[in-house]
Amino acid sequence: MLIDSHCHLDFPDFDQDREQVLNCARMSDIQGAIIPSIGPENWQRVIQLCQAHHQLWFALGIHPCFATKESLAQLEELEKLLSGLPSKLVAVGECGLDGVNSPLPMPEQIQLCLEQMRLANRFDLPVLFHIRKAHHHLLALLDREPLKAGGVVHGFSGSTQVASEYLRRGLYLGVGGVITYPRASKTRTAVSSAPLERLLLETDSPDMPLNGHQGQRNEPQRAALVLQELSQLLDLPYSSVAQVLSQNHIRLFKRLS
């Protein structure tokens, strides 16, 4: 079950060729993908997309960069959606904290993130975290509300020290295009120092382009290139790394089938 554990295939960027994108991913041995929502505006869109494709699964949450003053009140609707535990639902997210681009002040972001973590614990689901320049806040939240089903720091780009703090709290690290840039030495070192059993493969399509593909739309098929870079970074056979990552996906997202 080698999948792209974080991509936004519901975005308009893929409206003209979504089926072709999925076929190209399968040809690259990327057998499926998890589609996180960004907020109420696309909850139904990701649900419908994943219901129409057997190789797609979804997560529901409110992204800090798309949050509003109404977001806390909208969690009641999110709770209702989660309570049915649809078969393709595998996580809560994308949620988190953003110290750069969120329209909400950090105290409100923290409360919104905390409430989504509590929902995840209530329904025994892992959490997909977006985190930017706010690691210390998220680490404090994880101590306050430990996650029963774990979670992943999506698009990890931090240091070895930050990685170790997340790993110590039971989280996985999402590995994407960042590691394909030689200048990203801090993140490459952190990823290579982490246990392979705690890494997940992702693209964040259509964003987070790989080195050599700057300015292009990112796609799930390029998760195979991230995997290739990771295997070289770890000096391990591609097939061995692929096997462990597949097991990681199934271990964290227990409802994959």
pTM of the model: 0.96
pLDDT of residue 32: 95
The CATH-assigned architecture of domain 3-252 is Alpha-Beta Barrel (3.20)
CB 111 within 8 A of CB 144: no
| Coil/strand/helix, residue 233 | helix
Phi-psi region of 93 (alpha: psi -120 to 50; beta: other; left: phi over 0): left
What is the pLDDT tens value at each position of the chain, 257 positions in all? 799 999 999 999 999 999 999 999 999 999 999 999 999 999 999 999 999 999 999 999 999 999 999 999 999 999 999 998 888 999 999 999 999 999 999 999 999 999 999 999 999 999 999 999 999 999 999 999 999 999 999 999 999 999 999 999 999 999 999 999 999 999 999 999 999 999 999 999 999 999 999 999 999 999 999 999 999 999 999 999 999 999 999 999 998 86
CA distance 67 to 120: 18
CA distance 152 to 166: 9
CB 91 within 8 A of CB 59: yes
The number of beta carbons lying within 10 Å of the beta carbon of residue 198 is: 19
Residues contacting 19, CB < 8 A, separation 6+: none
pLDDT of residue 257: 65
pLDDT of residue 85: 83
